[in-house]
A and B are shown apart, each in its own frame.
Chain A
Amino acid sequence: MAGPLRLKDHRKELSSFMQRSAVAAAFIGALALVLVGRLVLLQIIRYDYYLDQALGNRTRLEPIPANRGLILDRNGQILAENQPSFQLEMVREQVPDLEETLLGLQKLELIDKEDLDDTRRVIRARRVFEAVPIRLRLSEEQIARFAVHRHEFPGVDIRARSTRSYPHGALAVHALGYVGAISDQDLTRIDRTAYAGTSLMGKLGVESARETELHGKNGYQEILVNAQGRSVERRGSDLHRQPPRAGADLILSLDLPAQQAAEQGFEGRRGAAIAIDPHTGDVLVLASMPGFDPGIFGRGITRAEYRALERNIDLPLFNRALRGIYPPGSTVKPVLGMAALAYGIVRADESRYCPGVYVVPGSSRRAREGRGGVHGTVDLRTAIAESCDVYFYDVAYQLGPDRIHEFLDPFGFGKPTGIDIAGEQTGLLPSREWKMKRYKDPSEGAWYAGDSVNFGIGQGFMSVTPMQLAQITSVLAAKGAVYKPRLVTGIRDPATGQTRKIDPVALPHVKGGTPQQWDVIMEGMRATMTRGTARAISTSAEYQMAGKTGTAQVFSVGQNERYVASQVAERLRDHSWFIAFAPAEAPQIAVAVLVENGGFGASAAAPIARKIMDAYLLPRLPKSAPQGDAPEAAPRPAPEPPAQGALPHDHEHGPATVRAAGGTVPPA
């Protein structure tokens, strides 16, 4: 095969080889230089850049959730706090098969089958490397059960976290709100970074309204992570740590004993009770019954539990105090009476005759006395005290819709009170314009005499929320002074312990009638308690109450029928209203109580108001001088710690004197 024509020339071959070797060596040198040049570029020139990249790689910021602020009542009693608990968390990127893992956890009964979809949704909504809680507040038994199977669930682990706890359970839940899992809807609104490491946020009530303050500011720490995102321990770490700033504590206006008295007073009935300090707008009691245990949301409410709450016929999730809309019934009469005085429809000392039935002018309609009976000759004070419907039918008719609207509007009828939690309903103070708009047909939309007459007993189109009526009562008690109702009176910095007080917000004063006319109405409301519809309530009270009962119709009775409570199904029975303030001469507390289907106001609602007032006032009254409707001084437990709001005063001078002397705004 060797070419016969050419012979091997060893010398030429060798020189060619040496030549090529030299070229190869030159190539090698050149390539080595290129390589070293490249390394110099990477390691010297771009050193800083790559160092940054390496540092960014190896560390990750892990959030340290801030402790949520406490919620305290006006006396410093804890209403909401934090408790350590164990929860199951999942880091999605570490889970090999999400479905299989969830299924496995469900088999261990750590997730409800029903909650799978929600859990899945929450996990997907979070970033893959975030630890997402999939089961909160594990019991010891559940912890043990998981621990045995832990190795089967990479990416799922038990972690100690703090969860919200409400030491008084359902108490004041509709004022406090609750803390619940951040939904994917919430995630679109909030700053994700601020909530990294937290799975819960405030829902409803103060928890939601003051979320920013309560939440605090997350801290973070740099942790060393490997390429899989797992945190690793390494010696000599120079890792940064920024401690969290705990959320601020909220001091509420609520008075725990009064709130307890209110909720116990309902004895399982449905309704709402609100008490307000008329001189500050402090909401002392805000109860909507029934409530629910807010703790279950922090625990991670299961779908079944939520459904049970939602479908409960008593609507425990419904905040009746703020959102329940009811006719005010006869509780409207004091304001209406003042309107009558102010517009000169009646005089204070003028008496009228009540025959028990009122014939609506211009129609054959006959309006009956609500509770039957004939009042006979009544003046305004008695008409209020006895709640004479016929008297007020006529007053309302004579006033007419325009003047009623004009006079009642400043008191706050048909307007949200502006309380510092969300969800308040408006209620309705009807007017001609409103009715015209409401009904398209002009004949229906016209204002009829009957509409005016309905005003007299707070029925018809008119509606209020218990919150509104409490606010109106407060305005009555303060003789026209209006404060925006508020739950939060102070914000305490947990680090310094200093409380920033929130000043009461005074709203435009309600003029109403002349001072004398105010007095007449006050006397009427006082008479309710001494000789009127609620006289049974104030017996043996150590202070003087002024009030007004009310009954709101749920179900209308034909004009020739008589309403007999015992014959009407429980849920069709009238709602029972009671508004009151005390002490009558120098009110410290104004209360509105509604008992759904409670029947007559004095029987169901008024005793609750009395219990609230006892709980709030008795510790604050001077022990030495028991007075009131019946002098009987029962020893009362002193509040602990001594209530800031306890303003010792006597009835002659009242708290106003003390305030004037002290020059301070009453309890915050």
Chain B
Amino acid sequence: MIRINPGGDSTTRRTLGGAARVLSALQLDGPLLIGLGLVCAYGLIVLYSASGQSGSMVLRAVVRLGMGAAAMVVLAQLRPQQLRAAAPWIYIFGMVLLVVVDVMGAIGKGAQRWIDLGFIRFQPSEVMKLAVPMLCARYLHERPLPPSAPMLAVLAGIILLPAALTAVQPDLGTAILIVIGGLLLVVMAGLPVGYMVGGAALAAGAAWVGWHYFLREYQRLRVLTFIDPTTDPQGAGYHIIQSQIAIGSGGLFGKGWMNGSQSQLEYLPERHTDFIFAVIGEEFGLLGLVILLSLYLFVVARSLYLASQTQDTFSRLLSASLALTFFVYVFINTGMVSGLLPVVGVPLPLVSYGGTSMVTLLAGFGILMALYSHRKLVGS
């Protein structure tokens, strides 16, 4: 492999060469692995503080991390052809589960997002985060690029169908992420700029018409509170106000691990899940946040580099899409917690506690690594 760094695993510590051989045999990318490992380790340290010193919660996070790592290693062994062949089946499998969950939700008269497999709660929408770009990439693989209008229509169907099913759960955050994942892939495939501009104009126009002709006063108010939650400090704005206080009061160096008053005295809601970024900001300050962001940027940059090194359309588009989507996750969460974006329930990737997102994210990186390490075996 390219570069060798000492990893955290004791078996890789003997010699650098030995480590390189092991990684190479496992089809893993050393730098990306290290980047991911550092983010996850950072996340566990913060989680201990953010969970109110809950050892059991950290342990459960470690277990999920282990499952994610296992998924990553397993997926890294697959060849691009296999992934491409599996894409429709995974997509169909995910769609069936989504429908099942939606129907269960309708019958049970309550929000339903997951299927309980006993040992883990499994969210079908998480599968779609991978299945949608995989199917899109497969669809575009053999077709001339940039995509034509009919192709775009097909792609829109592939993307919007699962997104719609997820949105009705209701899980708007994940639905948006699915759309963004697919959209980014299509953009990377060469979506003509005219479409982008046109699409943006269309969306703006629709929003204007909707605002003025379809929304009632209370609905408009709801939208406004969604965009600027600070207008409702006791309700929708409470989260964001408290998280800004947490981040701001952290200052440059933070209040110290387990010493954030906002986090520890429970002023900060969702402190160990969606708002864990604010805990880092409060306890480790600007410095801690910049370090975390740097780690994320390294992971994204390395992923993009790996994407650029792949040899075929499927691999290239899928890896680039996974890399960019990862950054979007990071940006949406951090932007939301720091008050740049409206609050949507998007966790901080690899750091927030809970959900199956840890597993799917690492699985995605497994796919990324597979596509890269098997690049020379791919015939054009």
Contacts and interface: CB of A to CB of B under 8 A. Distances in A.
Interface of A: 1-3, 6-10, 13-14, 16-18, 20-21, 24-25, 28, 31-32, 34-36, 38-40, 42-44, 46-47, 49-51, 53-55, 57-58, 224-228, 232, 234
Nearest to A42: B248
Contacts of B308: 17-18, 21
A50 B244 contact: yes
24 contacts: A1-B143, A2-B142, A3-B148, A16-B145, A17-B308, A17-B316, A20-B187, A21-B188, A21-B304, A40-B286, A42-B247, A43-B247, A43-B248, A43-B250, A53-B248, A54-B249, A54-B282, A55-B249, A55-B261, A57-B245, A57-B267, A58-B267, A225-B265, A232-B265
B324 interface: yes
B334 to A, nearest CB: 6
B300 A28 contact: yes
Contacts of B203: none
Interface string B299-324: 01100100110000100110010001
A10 B297 contact: no
Interface string B249-278: 111100000000110111100000000000
Contacts of B313: 8, 10, 13
Contacts of A53: 245, 248-249
A39 B267 contact: no
B246 interface: yes
Interface string B319-352: 0100010010001001100111000000000000
Nearest to B282: A54
A35 B320 contact: no
B286 A226 contact: no
B142 A54 contact: no
A25 B301 contact: yes
A39 B266 contact: no
Interface in B139-155: 142-146, 148, 151
A18 B317 CA distance: 11
A35 B331 contact: yes
Given A10-B380, A17-B308, A51-B249, 5 more contacts: A20-B190, A47-B252, A51-B248, A53-B245, A58-B267
A604 to B, nearest CB: 69
Contacts of B247: 39, 42-43, 50
Interface residues of B, number: 54
Nearest to A58: B261
A392 to B, nearest CB: 78
Q: Which 6 A-B pairs have the closest CB atoms?
A: A50-B248, A54-B249, A6-B144, A226-B265, A42-B248, A58-B261
Which of B248, B281, B285, B340: most chain A CB closer than 10 A?
B248
B230 to A, nearest CB: 13
Contacts of A17: 188-190, 308, 316-317, 320
B19 interface: no
A218 B151 CA distance: 77
B290 A50 contact: no
A43 B251 contact: yes
Contacts of B316: 14, 17
A34 to B, nearest CB: 7
- Which secondary structure dominates where chain B touches chain A? helix
A13 B315 CA distance: 13
A2 B281 contact: no
Nearest to B305: A21
A25 B304 contact: yes
B297 A38 contact: no
Contact of A24 (B144, B251, B304): B304
Contacts of A20: 187-188, 190
Contacts of A46: 248
A227 B265 contact: yes
B15 to A, nearest CB: 35
B127 interface: no
Nearest to B260: A54
B266 A226 contact: yes
A42 B340 CA distance: 11
A24 B317 CA distance: 13
Contacts of A43: 247-248, 250-252, 281, 285-286, 289
A170 to B, nearest CB: 50
B244 A35 contact: no
Nearest to B323: A24
Contacts of B145: 8-9, 13, 16
A38 B300 CA distance: 21
Contacts of A18: 308
B188 A8 contact: no
Contacts of A16: 145-146, 190
B41 interface: no
B34 interface: no
A256 to B, nearest CB: 53
Nearest to B331: A31
Contact of B307 (A21, A227, A228): A21
A408 B290 CA distance: 92
A50 B249 contact: yes
B293 interface: yes
Given A6-B144, A21-B308, A43-B286, A51 B251 contact: yes
A54 B261 contact: yes
Most chain B CB atoms below 10 A, which of A6, A35, A232: A35
Nearest to B246: A54
Contacts of B248: 42-43, 46-47, 49-51, 53-54
B266 A54 contact: no
Contacts of B266: 226-228
Contacts of A6: 144, 148
A55 to B, nearest CB: 8
Contacts of A24: 184, 188, 304, 320, 324
A13 B251 contact: no
A38 to B, nearest CB: 5
B267 A34 contact: no
Nearest to A23: B187
Contact of B340 (A8, A34, A224, A232): A34
B262 A57 contact: yes
Contacts of A38: 335, 338-340
B247 to A, nearest CB: 5
Nearest to A236: B259
B295 to A, nearest CB: 12
A651 B324 CA distance: 111
B304 A8 contact: no
A35 B292 CA distance: 12
Interface in B180-194: 184, 187-190
A227 B246 CA distance: 13
B339 A7 contact: no
A36 B282 CA distance: 15
Contacts of A226: 265-267
Interface in B361-380: 380
B29 to A, nearest CB: 17
Contacts of A9: 144-145
A14 B316 CA distance: 9
B334 A35 contact: yes
A241 to B, nearest CB: 19
B188 A57 contact: no
A232 B339 CA distance: 29
A167 to B, nearest CB: 45
Nearest to B255: A54
Nearest to B334: A35
A6, A57, A226, A234 — most chain B CB neighbours (10 Å): A57
Contacts of B331: 31-32, 35
Most buried by A among B146, B187, B316, B338: B338
A82 B297 CA distance: 68
A14 B142 CA distance: 14
Given A28-B297, A47-B249, A36 B290 contact: yes
